[in-house]
Amino acid sequence: MSSNRKVAIIDYGIGNLYSVKKACEYVGLDSIITSNKIDILNCGAMILPGVGAFGNAMNNIQEKDLIESIQQFAKSGRYIMGVCLGMQLLMEYSEEFGKQNGLSLIKGGCKKFNFNENVKVPQINWNKIYSPNQYEIFSEESPLSKISQGTYMYFVHSFYVEPLEKNNILSITSYDNFEYCSSICKDNIFGFQFHPEKSGKNGLVLYDNFKNLIKK
Amino acid sequence: MSLRIIPRIDIKGPNVVKGINLEGLRVLGKPSDFAKYYYENGADELLYMDVVASLYERNSLQNIIEETASDVFIPITVGGGIRNLNDINTVLRSGADKVLINTAAIKNPEFIREAANNFGSSTIVISIEVIKQQNNNYLCFTDNGREFTGINAIDWVQKIQDLGAGEIVLTSVDREGTGNGFDDELIKSICAKLSIPLIIHGGAGSSEHVLNTAKEFPQIDGFGIASMFHYHFLKEYDIINKNFDEGNIDFIKKGLHPKGISPTHINSLKSYLYNNKIDVRLF
């Protein structure tokens, strides 16, 4: 048995896993890049990274036979953090190329930004995150603890998450005056649309918070 | 949309280099030292360009990327000598977030589509190196402005967007390293055809140059800047005690900087832009 404080970074063939691993190392979080079921289930927490297309990612996860393992992991109460596409995969579906099924850990889906042609999609941008309830700070029980309102994080995406239940929204962000959910949480499951491992020192605070949650 | 300020670090072998019009390269220091300094001082992103890789058909960047990505937590774009999907994969696995492609895309435009399908559009950045001709046409060049292609830059912008490119880095080779300011006429003609993010590079000599061009063209998403930042950093950089594997550092040892370049701290530029109502990420 490996240490239950180790975090499994799920490798399903896409994404910049190196930076996620280096961010974990930076904050002193022991991690392993893996697609092996037994390794994953032996870990105390999970990071689900990802860039690219939703359908490709789900196909790869299915090919590696990991869907049930991830769902089982979530039910066990251990912490899961989805990053960028990894956040979108937590949902029930995405409207990317028709309708594709996700991991269904949180109710709701992913929709494409719908702007006029003057607004560039994907959003490739440093953008601000806020608590959905104005004047409130981010919960101390979340990885956003100690992060100020209006902090810039680095975003690259064309689709956004729309949770069915509003109380799953952990942060909101506005792109061309359109407000959407940029962080999500449900019990032990967190998702971030931005890349905390690419968002400078504030992004590393998030990794450090995640480490502290696991150690509690 | 906040304007991205992106230090561009040209690399030759193990060293940071800087030239004028992409030629006459001077050795300035170690890439990871520059990268770390810019990361800690407010850079929104970094651009690494291996300036000889496509000429000598080699890839030497992998170790430099790994070293950089281990303690620099902002997006890193890497270019120079990327010829196939395997090269892209190698660079991304080393810690880069995006790749910058010029020569391989010109030789085979379908490569852009193939790359975008495999890695996602937002990972594929096309570098366009432009030289203005006597008849005022803007033509694309490859291999750091050495190889003539005959391709019109404005037509090329349309084509690469259709093929799935995620972003453009536009270099005016005529202005590059000179500090004479950006080629606004070139930018204007490119912006007319634009639906993806645009990074402007080549010509920044002062903060005013950046402000004026940013104000005139709100479609610009970022600026790639080398000399202004490098020659500022060098004042703080103890180059004399560094060991260099190759290259001549006499110019730097004398504490000189090229005429036309006002060395500027990255955060001074950002504060200046912010105070003049340009949306930037302050640090």
Does the pLDDT at position A43 exceed 50? yes
The per-residue pLDDT for range A143-171, each reduced to its tens digit, is: 999 999 999 999 999 899 999 999 999 99
pLDDT at B237: 79
Name the residue facing A120 among B74, B94, B195 (closest C-beta): B195
Look at B250 and A3; give whichever has higher pLDDT: B250
In contact, A92 and A108? CB cutoff 8 Å: yes
CATH number of the domain that residue B28 is part of: 3.20.20.70
> What is the C-alpha to C-alpha distance for residues A203 and A124, in angstroms, rounded to an integer?
16
Share of chain A above pLDDT 90, in %: 81
Give yes or no for A23 touching B (CB within 8 A). Answer: yes
Per DSSP, which regions of B51-203 are E strands?
76-79, 98-101, 124-132, 138-142, 147-152, 167-172, 198-201
pLDDT at A2: 43
Q: Reduced to 3 states, what is the DSSP secondary structure of residue A168? A: helix
- The HSE-up count of residue B161 (CA atoms within 13 Å, CB side) is 20
Determine, yes or no, domain membership for B283: no
Average pLDDT, 10 consecutive residues per value, chain B (283 residues): 95 87 81 95 96 64 90 95 90 92 96 91 94 95 90 96 95 93 96 92 96 97 96 80 62 78 95 97 85
Could you tell me the pTM of the whole model? Answer: 0.93
In contact, A129 and A183? CB cutoff 8 Å: yes
Give yes or no for B68 touching A (CB within 8 A). Answer: no
Cis amide prior to A122 (ω within 30 degrees): yes
Is there a contact between B221 and A16 if contact means CB atoms under 8 Å apart?
no
What average pLDDT does this structure show over A85-111? 94
pLDDT at B243: 59
Residue A54 φ then ψ, to 5°: -55, -50
pLDDT at A118: 81
A1 pLDDT band, cuts 50/70/90, is very low
In contact, A24 and A207? CB cutoff 8 Å: yes
Determine, yes or no, domain membership for B282: no
Determine, yes or no, domain membership for B28: yes
Q: Identity (one letter) of the amino acid at B10?
A: D
Which structural domain range is residue B264 located in?
Answer: 4-275
pLDDT at A99: 87
pLDDT at A216: 76
What average pLDDT does this structure show over A176-190? 97
Instruction: Give A 85-114 residues with CB within 8 A of chain B.
Output: none
The CA-based dihedral angle spanning residues A120, A122, A124, A126, taken in that order and rounded to the nearest 10 degrees: 90
In contact, B139 and B151? CB cutoff 8 Å: yes
> What is the C-alpha to C-alpha distance for residues B205 and B228, in angstroms, rounded to an integer?
6
The per-residue pLDDT for range B224-261, each reduced to its tens digit, is: 999 999 999 988 877 655 655 556 667 777 777 888 89
Pick the catalytic residue: A110, A157, A181, A197? A197
Computed over every residue of chain A, the mean pLDDT equals 93
Look at A99 and A208; give whichever has higher pLDDT: A208
Most B CBs within 10 Å: which of A119, A125, A175, A204, as the mutation test of the B interface?
A125
pLDDT at B48: 95
Q: Identity (one letter) of the amino acid at B221?
A: D
The per-residue pLDDT for range B68-82, each reduced to its tens digit, is: 999 999 999 999 989
What average pLDDT does this structure show over A66-80? 97
Give yes or no for A53 touching B (CB within 8 A). Answer: yes
Catalytic site residue A195? yes
- All structural domains of chain A with their residue ranges: 7-215
> What is the C-alpha to C-alpha distance for residues B232 and B228, in angstroms, rounded to an integer?
6
Determine, yes or no, domain membership for B280: no
Number of domains in chain B: 1
First to last CA, chain A: 20
CA-wise closest residue to A152 among B198, B225, B42, B266? B42
In contact, B92 and B99? CB cutoff 8 Å: yes
Distance from CA of B135 to the nearest CA of A (A): 32
The answer for residues whose C-beta is within 8 angstroms of residue A79's C-beta and 6 or more apart is: A44, A45, A46, A188, A189, A190, A210, A213, A214
Does the pLDDT at position A3 exceed 70? no
Token pair 């890193």: residue = B76
> What is the C-alpha to C-alpha distance for residues A105 and A91, in angstroms, rounded to an integer?
6
In contact, B140 and B151? CB cutoff 8 Å: yes
Please count the residues of chain A. 216
Name the H helices within chain A. Answer: 17-27, 37-42, 54-63, 67-75, 85-88, 200-215
CATH code reported for the domain at A7-215? 3.40.50.880
Pick the catalytic residue: B10, B87, B176, B221? B10
